[in-house]
Amino acid sequence: MTVTQTRSASTAEHDATEQRAGARALLACPILTAGRNPEALALVRRHARALKAMFASTVDYQLVVESTFARLHKGPLDPEAAPRPARRSNTGGDFAPRTYTYLALLCAGLLSTPPRDQVLIGALVNQVRADAAIAGITMEDTATDRRHLVHAILHLIELGVLTETDGTVAAWRDRQIEALLDIHRPLLPHLLTLSLQDLAGPEPLLDGTAHARFGPDQPRRSLRRKLIENPLVRREDLTAPERDVLSRERTELTHVMDDLFGLTLEVRLEGALCYDTDDELTDVNFPGEGTTAWVALLLVNALVDDLKVAPNSTAELGGRTVPGAMAPWAMVDAGVELLIETYGDSFGAAHVGDPPALRAGAVALLESVGVARSTPGGLLLHPVCARYQPEPQRVPARPRQALPQAPAPPTDMFAGTLFTESDIAPEDPHREPTTDQERS
């Protein structure tokens, strides 16, 4: 190999590394701005052409790159995916419906104001109130309404659409002190992934038809999207063509996920998952830290033990047979009570004193990573729950002074512990040739 060939190979490898870093930055934060993500934006701009082509061909995502921002427009989540609400920047709690309402009114108000790059928060709030009155939305000047409005404004600041220039939103909320906000106007039209002006109502957004741009002949792209966006892709949630791709082309799929996004693919009988060994691309760590995460992990192990959950377990849900095992809510509540009684000394007082809230938090965490689903009759545990390792030892209740400490859970349930090697789903060695159109 000549010196020129060596240098060319080194340059290509360097570009591939930078493009993978840029793709990961966009997956972690689909909106990058010069003010908040200068280094990541510079990287994406440097490889804009390659990244646009890669996202379009691999997962059919549209990437918009401008001088001051980059916006990755993703497709909708599949119907079986766990909801992913916007979160309040100060507390991390989910947006309430009222907060979403104010967020929409704020965006409409910013788009309808004169094309200036700055706005006083008082003028913006007046515009929101006027638009709310025209739309028939009741908006009161109460502490509760101001709190929802402030959460929506802070969300736009977190996205980089607004910037506090003189004064703060908190000061306006607490003492009605005026604040000047910079508007990142070029980014505003790109907040939504599609235009709403041609929609007659919200139904196309709710049922997904408004986003219907993925053809039925693209199982590779839809499978890649599911693997990238979901903590766990359950086999029963895949279409027949997607399952065929997963079975026949697992080796190629593994290389694609690693080379383009730095993700590790695991495929087993129950489904598949792509996980990030660097722990940079997820906003939900499981089991994670804190009482709720510990209870979720210990509760799953207790329920798996009680129900004898196995990879081939099935349950009845809505008149159909689905993979998993159903834990009645009484069993779930008893499990939470047992954990509180056994390990309560290591829990916070608020958790010990409110078992329903602790159960709700643990169940929400399990649902967010796709290993359980709430139903009217109980908690449906997916068979993947039977793969948890290590299994914490369950001990009977005993006097408080003799309580053992709760075992520390592993930092990552997906770090090679989800499945056993004996349950690997083999790749089909007789892979049939596919057309160029299907491969695109």
pLDDT one-digit tens code per residue, 133-145: 998 988 888 888 8
pLDDT surpasses 90 at 378: yes
Going by the DSSP 8-state scheme, the letter that residue 421 receives in this structure is G
CA-to-CA separations, 326 to 91, 224, 306, 309, 378, in angstroms, rounded: 33, 30, 11, 9, 6
- Tell me the mean pLDDT in the region 402-411: 39
pLDDT number for residue 140: 83
pLDDT number for residue 212: 57
Residue 119 φ then ψ, to 5°:
-150, 145
The winner for highest mean pLDDT among 18-32, 73-87, 285-299, 366-380 is 18-32
pLDDT, mean over the chain: 81
Neighbours of 121 (CB within 10 A): 24
pLDDT number for residue 90: 65
Which residues share a beta bridge with 374?
379
pLDDT number for residue 213: 55
pLDDT range class, residue 174, cuts 50, 70, 90: confident
Find the range with the poorest average confidence among 46-50, 243-247, 365-369, 409-413: 409-413
Strand order in the sheet with 325-328: 325-328, 378-381, 372-375
pLDDT number for residue 388: 60
Could you tell me the end-to-end alpha-carbon distance of the chain, in angstroms, rounded to an integer? 33
pLDDT number for residue 48: 97
Higher pLDDT, 210 or 32: 32
pLDDT number for residue 240: 92
The winner for highest mean pLDDT among 214-223, 388-397, 427-436 is 214-223
- Tell me the mean pLDDT in the region 245-259: 94
Residue 265 φ then ψ, to 5°:
-100, 135
Find the range with the poorest average confidence among 242-251, 384-393, 430-439: 430-439
Higher pLDDT, 121 or 310: 121
pLDDT number for residue 421: 36
Residue 166, classed as helix, strand or coil, is strand
pLDDT range class, residue 88, cuts 50, 70, 90: confident
